[in-house]
Amino acid sequence: MKKKSAFTLIELLVVIAIIGTLVTISIVALSNFSG
């Protein structure tokens, strides 16, 4: 299998979605914990 040197658009969108979800969960958890 050849390794791709660059992310495809779909892979990039998936990574952004996962990171965004984790960040959102972290913010909510921290605000609930401190509040």
Q: ∠29-32-35 over CA atoms, to 5°?
A: 145
What percent of the chain clears pLDDT 70, i.e. is strictly above it?
A: 80
**Mean predicted confidence (pLDDT) in 7-34:** 93
- The rounded mean pLDDT for the chain is 88
pTM of the model as a whole = 0.62
Q: Please indicate whether residue 33 or residue 29 has the higher confidence score (pLDDT).
A: 29
pLDDT score, position 35: 66
> Can you tell me which residue has the tokens 């972290």?
26
Do the beta carbons of residue 7 and residue 15 sit within 8 Å? yes
pLDDT above 90 (res 16): yes
pLDDT above 80 (res 5): no
